[in-house]
Amino acid sequence: MTLTAFLRALAQLPDRRFRRVLGLGVALTLALLVAVYALVLWAIQALTGDTVTIPGVGPVGGLDTLLSLGSAILMLVLSVVLMVPVASAFMGLFLEDVAQAVEDRYYPGLPPVPRLPLGDVLIDTANAFGLVLAVNVLALLALVLAPPVAPLVFWGLNGLVLGREYFTLAAMRRLGRDGARRLRRRHRGRIWLAGTLMAAPLSVPVVNLLVPLLGAATFTHLFHRLHSADPSGPPSRNRAR
C-alpha cells in the first residue's frame, strides 16, 4: 500500500499542475534549508566568537561565510539533519496544495473542501517543528552513545513524527481533527513505516529536496486508501476543523 502510494506520487511528477507545485516547493524548500543553515552559522559565531575550520571544508562560521564554497559543502552535508525540520515546516506550507492536485487527478469524485484556517496550520506546523527538534536531540544522543545504530534511531524517530504529522494534516482535510486522530491510531504501524520510508531519503543530499513534496503526495494517497478500506472509520466531511 505504501509503495503504491509512493509510485503514484512519482507518476504525477510530469503533470503540469504538479510540476508547478514541485518547482515552487523545491525553491522554497531550498530557501528554508538555507535559512535554517544560516541560523546554524549564527549559532557557531555566537558560541565560539570566531569561525571554525573543518577538515576538507575550510573555515566556516558567521553569516559572512554563508555564500563561501566551504559553507556550501557544509550545508550539503548538514542537510542530512537539517532537512528534517525543513520537511516539518513544508508540511504546513504545501500539503494542502499537493493534496488538492493529487485528489483532482486520482479522486475526482470527491466534494471540494475549503483550505484549512491559516492559524490552525501555523499552530500545527509550530508544534510539529518543536516535536521534531526534541526527537532529534534524542537521535543525537544515540549518535554519541551507540553510533552503529544511530541511523536506524534517526530514521525511526523521525519517521514516527513525520508520519504522524503528515498523515494527520492530510486526513484533517476530509475527516476533521478528531476523525484524523482516530484513523491514525488505528493504522499507527503502517503510518510509522511510511514515515520512516520518508525519513530515510531525507538523509541523502540533493535527493532530499524532493522528499517533502513526494511525502505530502504519498500521505494523501495513503489516507484515501486507509480510509476507504476502514469500515469503522469516520465518514468524510466537506470541512475539517
> pTM, whole model, 2 decimals?
0.76
Q: Is residue 238 part of a domain?
A: no
* pLDDT higher than 60, residue 25: yes
Q: Is residue 98 part of a domain?
A: yes
Higher per-residue pLDDT: 130 or 184: 184
The full 3-state SS of the chain, as one line of letters, equals CHHHHHHHHHHCCCCHHHHHHHHHHHHHHHHHHHHHHHHHHHHHHHHHCCCEEECCCEEECCHHHCCCHHHHHHHHHHHHHHHHHHHHHHHHHHHHHHHHHHHHHHCCCCCCCCCCCHHHHHHHHHHHHHHHHHHHHHHHHHHHHCHHHHHHHHHHHHHHHHHHHHHHHHHHHHHHHHHHHHHHHHCHHHHHHHHHHHHCHHHCCCHHHCHHHHHHHHHHHHHHHHHHCCCCCCCCCCCCC
Residue 172: which domain range? 2-228
pLDDT band at 12 (very low <50, low <70, confident <90, very high): confident
* 91 within 8 A of 147, measured Cβ to Cβ: no
Q: Which of 38-52, 88-102, 201-215, 222-236 has the lowest mean pLDDT?
A: 38-52
Q: Is residue 26 part of a domain?
A: yes
By CB atoms closer than 10 A (0-12, 13-18, 19+), residue 38 is: middle
Higher per-residue pLDDT: 232 or 14: 14
Number of compact structural domains in the chain:
1
* pLDDT higher than 50, residue 57: no
Q: Is residue 236 part of a domain?
A: no
Q: Is residue 146 part of a domain?
A: yes
Q: Is residue 101 part of a domain?
A: yes
Q: Is residue 132 part of a domain?
A: yes
Q: Is residue 241 part of a domain?
A: no
